[in-house]
Amino acid sequence: MNESEAQVAALAAYFARHSAVPLAAQRPALLFRPPAGLDAVAELRPGPCVQSHKPTAEALQQSGWQVLDAPRETCRLAIVFATKHKEEILHHLALAAEALEEGGSLILVAANTLGAPSLERRLGELTGRTETFSKHKCRVVRAFKADAQLNPALLADWKRGGELRRLPATGCYSCPGLFSWKSLDLGSRLLAARLPADLSGCGADLGAGYGYLAREALQCAPGIRELHLVEAEGKALAAAQLNLADVAGTRRLHYHWADVTAGLPLVRLDFVLMNPPFHAGRAPLPALGRAFVREALRLLKPGGRLLLVANRQLPYEAEIRSMGGEIGSAEETQGFKIIQATKVRQADAQARLSM
Ligand SMILES: C[S@@+](CC[C@H](N)C(=O)[O-])C[C@H]1O[C@@H](n2cnc3c(N)ncnc32)[C@H](O)[C@@H]1O
């Protein structure tokens, strides 16, 4: 069981044991960052949830959940699922506490590996009183909203801590929960420093994050006339729009909240840039990076260029060749490799296997 599955199983066990928890007194609960697979929690009826990760959001919508980017209404029960970013969890706890009506319940579900004991303590600091249930190496912590006991300074602090803002250290807008949110990734910096000034035409940044690589490309290559930023995390895309506002000029920018591995409606690109992901949550998932590489080659026109940075040990070369790419240069430095490849032929359609 991975952390998400364990959290869902722990919540199901909690409801099975605590049938008296007012399951929203017939109103649906408000969920923050729920994983897909909530059908396992029989007591939960689909309702509103805050989820900005596209593949998860789509899976939830297919099960009848209403995906929001922020709470719209008050609720009697709010459930926050822990993620790997502490500031993001605290931000969601603050939003949940704010959305709750007086006397409502706030439930935090956190795997021990995501810091459950310390999160339980923090939630107690915010609300004054908590109850805990442990199962599947997770804690399910229930707090009660009583305005008289709520710590307003902490609530304001946690809320602010998760918001999008410009960080002096990077010069970029970002927020907790995004890849490398408060320091520029070394791999991306190495690729940025090697971006050719003659990149031109229409291209894409796959897994664009908060837009750092795209920004660097637009700044160094005036011949870029159009750029597609594709990113699964909606908050990253919102940050990218702010980060590119002053470098776009007359170039056309397109923002796609999309899963790269699901296939993109783009064709005949002149270039693709990327620092492909190879994790799902905290678990390594090298197949994800390979799927990115296949999609990048598929989108390029013959003669189109791929510029990619990856950890040195990740084996993308075979993927590039199998999709009709020819590697022009592969430089290794500081634990990374920067690959420049050209698409020389159309790949066999069969080669584009799903993950
Ligand atoms: C290694 S980061 C690179 C971010 C950015 N390009 C940079 O260089 O700073 C990979 C990005 O891919 C995004 N990502 C992960 N899975 C994705 C998917 N299936 N589709 C689209 N983007 C995805 C992540 O949210 C993350 O922002």
Quick: pLDDT tens for 295-324: 999 999 999 999 999 999 998 999 999 999
Mean pLDDT of 13-35: 80
CA distance 221 to 157: 40
Name the helix (H) or strand (E) containing 219: helix 212-220
Q: How many angstroms does the Cα of residue 199 sit away from the middle of ligand 1?
A: 21
Domains of the chain and any CATH numbers: 3-161 (3.40.50.150), 178-351 (3.40.50.150)
Q: What is the pLDDT of residues 187-214, one digit of tens each?
A: 999 999 999 999 999 999 999 999 999 9
Q: How many angstroms does the Cα of residue 236 sit away from the middle of ligand 1?
A: 9
Q: What is the pLDDT of residues 198-254, one digit of tens each?
A: 999 999 999 999 999 999 999 999 999 999 999 999 999 999 999 999 999 999 999
Q: What are phi and psi of 14, to 5 degrees?
A: -65, -45
CA distance 323 to 352: 8
Confidence of residue 28 (pLDDT cuts 50, 70, 90): confident
- Which residue's alpha carbon is at the smallest distance from atom 4 of ligand 1? 209
169: number of Cβ within 10 Å:
9
State residue 57's pLDDT score.
98
* Structure tokens belonging to residue 7: 């959290």
What lines the ligand 1 site, CB under 6 Å?
Answer: 55, 179-180, 185, 188, 207-209, 212-213, 230-233, 236, 259-261, 275, 277
CA distance 249 to 274: 22
- Which residue's alpha carbon is at the smallest distance from atom 10 of ligand 1? 277
| pTM metric for this prediction | 0.94
DSSP annotation string for 85-109: -HHHHHHHHHHHHHHEEEEEEEEEE
Task: Pick from 51, 174, 179, 354 the residue to mutate for probing ligand 1's pocket: most ligand atoms within 8 Å of its CB.
Answer: 179
Mean pLDDT of 47-64: 97
- Which residue's alpha carbon is at the smallest distance from atom 15 of ligand 1? 277
State residue 21's pLDDT score.
65
223: number of Cβ within 10 Å:
12
Q: How many angstroms does the Cα of residue 301 sit away from the middle of ligand 1?
A: 23
State residue 24's pLDDT score.
46
**pLDDT beyond 90 at 86:** yes
Q: CA triplet 342, 344, 346: central angle to 5 degrees?
A: 120
Q: How many angstroms does the Cα of residue 5 sit away from the middle of ligand 1?
A: 22
Q: What are phi and psi of 346, to 5 degrees?
A: -75, 135
For ligand 1, what atom is nearest to the CA of residue 274?
A: 6
CA distance 282 to 174: 20
- Which residue's alpha carbon is at the smallest distance from atom 17 of ligand 1? 232
For ligand 1, what atom is nearest to the CA of residue 187?
A: 8
State residue 348's pLDDT score.
56
State residue 148's pLDDT score.
84
Confidence of residue 20 (pLDDT cuts 50, 70, 90): low
What pairing do the DSSP bridges indicate for beta strands 138-144 and 100-111? antiparallel
Contacts for 163 with CB less than 8 Å, ≥ 6 apart: 91, 175
CA distance 281 to 162: 18
Q: How many angstroms does the Cα of residue 179 sit away from the middle of ligand 1?
A: 7
* Structure tokens belonging to residue 154: 């902490």
- Which residue's alpha carbon is at the smallest distance from atom 6 of ligand 1? 208
130: number of Cβ within 10 Å:
20
State residue 23's pLDDT score.
59
Ramachandran sector of residue 341 (left: φ over 0; alpha: ψ -120 to 50; beta: rest): beta
Alpha-carbon dihedral angle through residues 262, 267, 271, 274, given to the nearest 10 degrees? -10
